[in-house]
Amino acid sequence: MRARDLGIIIGGLPPGPNDALTDVAGVEVGYETIVRGEDVRTGVTVILPFEGREPLFAAIHRLNGNGEMTGSHYIDEFGMLTSPIAITNTHSVGTVHEALVRYSVERGYVSGEFSSWALPVVAETWDGMLNDINGFHVKPHHVEAAIASAKSGPIDEGNVGGGTGMICHGFKGGTGTASRVVPEAAGGYTVGVLVQANHGRRERLRITGVPVGAAIGPDEVPLPGVHADGQGSIITVVATDAPLLPYQCKRLAQRAALGIGRTGGLGEDSSGDIIICFATGNRPVVVLGDPPPVDVPIRMLQNAYINPLFAAAVDATEEAIVNALLAAGTTTGYGGATAYRLPPERLAQLLR
């Protein structure tokens, strides 16, 4: 189930054909979901922003930094994304990072012709409530499987990939996605968002401004424990086909934080709320070769037309979080801990 299945319309801009990150042409998403026995509830999500090693303009925004996104210093310094993006659990970042380096080496992206190093982007949220996070269950072959499954078009949500063991606003959370298309007068560009939602307190959850979390108390839907206190994180990936420069990607990433805030996320002290935005509208940013050209032509969206993209990022982020909540199913995991889904019928009643 998704927000639009319940008639929940967020903002005035229309979605893309799949209402997903993959509505940005060329972007693919893959998952590997790991569920074993009573204690293993984890996985890996991989976003392939481009084919091969074609750098894209990109930027990162930190709402609260109690979390990790590798490769962020390179992106801050050069304003470019040069790798796939992976999202997993907190204690599997190293394994996933090594697997992405190996992926680059095996495909010849790390060579004298291109570059002699790889700095992959790997982000995390903590799934230790529902998953045996100290069991190190994510292995390199899981990353390879996620890459192999990557596709465009409609993608799964909820208890999939890195979102398998996540909790959001005291309900079962996980992976969610959405998109928006801006008017032709502003370029007709698409903005897509994917979140791994593992953040927020129950009583702060708002959907289209309605305080639904406060209305659904623990006597109606039990809380899963520590996450009731807002501990956790949210990773947000924003993509657009608009020709944005890195500073404009930064501005778009900042606006996605407003979508987190509109649903009740505060960037709590113990939360890692990190947003990465990349733009495909200047491809290729760098012409690879030996020797490279001295300069390359670059397009830029005029700032006078960027406000619709801001609205798209805010609305798509809010909807992606709601989609993660609605798509996720009740999950019992590590030590018998249970995170219950947000009941769609109850939500629809409250919104009415």
What's the confidence (pLDDT) of residue 108?
Answer: 81
Quick check: 226 pLDDT over 70?
no
Within a domain: 247:
yes
pLDDT given at position 175: 98
Answer whether residue 204 is part of any domain: yes
Contacts of 7 (CB under 8 A, 6+ apart): 348
Is 115 a residue of the active site? no
Please report the pLDDT score of residue 296 as a whole number. 85
Three-state SS at 234:
strand
**Residue 55 lies inside a defined structural domain of this protein:** yes
Active site residue 111: no
More reliable by pLDDT, 295 or 169: 169
Residue 66 pLDDT: 95
88: Cα separation from own chain's centroid:
11
Distance, CA of 73 to CA of 65 (rounded, Å): 14
Q: Distance between CA 111 and CA 315 in Å, rounded?
A: 41
Is the pLDDT reported for residue 325 higher than 80? yes
Share of the chain above pLDDT 90, in %: 87
Centre a 10 Å sphere on the Cβ of residue 304 and count the other Cβ atoms it contains.
7
Instruction: Identify the pLDDT of residue 114.
Output: 56
Q: How far apart are CA 82 and CA 55, in angstroms?
A: 5
Range of the domain at 250: 15-328
Residue 95, pLDDT above cutoff 80: yes
What pLDDT is recorded for position 285?
Answer: 79
Residue 221 lies in a domain: yes
What is the predicted pLDDT for the residue at 289? 59
What CATH number is given to the structural domain containing 73?
A: 3.60.70.12
CA dihedral 130, 126, 327, 267 (to 10 degrees): 130
> For residues 27 and 21, what is the distance between their CA atoms, to the nearest angstrom?
7
For the segment 72-82, the average pLDDT, to the nearest whole number, is 95
Looking at residue 20, the DSSP 8-state letter turns out to be S
What share of the chain has pLDDT > 70, as a percent?
A: 95
Burial of 33 (0-12, 13-18, 19+ CB in 10 A): buried
Q: Residue 45: name the closest of 173, 153, 176 by CA.
A: 176
Q: How far apart are CA 290 and CA 243, in angstroms?
A: 26
Total domains in the fold of the chain = 1
Residues 338 and 196: their CA atoms lie apart, in Å, by 19
How far apart are the C-alpha atoms of 1 and 156, rounded to whole Å? 11
- Predicted confidence at residue 192, as pLDDT, reads 98
Instruction: For residues 270-274, give the mean pLDDT.
Output: 96
Mean pLDDT, the chain, rounded, equals 94
Given a cut of 60, whether residue 232 has pLDDT beyond it is yes
- Decide if 347 is inside a domain: no
Kindly name the residue from 23, 127, 271, 315 that is annotated as catalytic. Answer: 271
Give catalytic status of residue 233 as yes or no.
yes
| Residue 228 pLDDT | 55
10 domain-assigned? no
Task: List, for residues 112-168, the tens digit of each pLDDT value.
Answer: 655 778 999 999 999 999 999 999 999 999 999 999 999 999 999 999 999 999 999
Q: Which of 19, 233, 241, 315 is catalytic?
A: 233
Query: Which of 264, 237, 262 lies closest to 252, judged by CA?
Result: 237
Give the pLDDT mean for 53-68: 93
Residue 338 lies in a domain: no
Residue 155 inside a domain? The answer is yes
Report DSSP letters for 122-165, one per residue.
EEEE--TTTS-GGG----HHHHHHHHHT-BSSS---BSSGGGTT
Whether residue 287 is predicted with pLDDT greater than 70 in this model: the reply is no
Over 80: is that where the pLDDT of 292 sits? no
Q: Is pLDDT above 80 for 98?
A: yes
Q: Is the pLDDT score of 299 beyond 90?
A: yes
What does the pLDDT read at residue 180? Answer: 98
Confidence band for 294, pLDDT divided at 50, 70 and 90: confident
pLDDT of residue 340: 97
Rounded-to-integer distance, Cα 289 and Cα 166, Å? 43
Q: Each residue of 302-323: pLDDT tens digit? A: 999 999 999 999 999 999 999 9
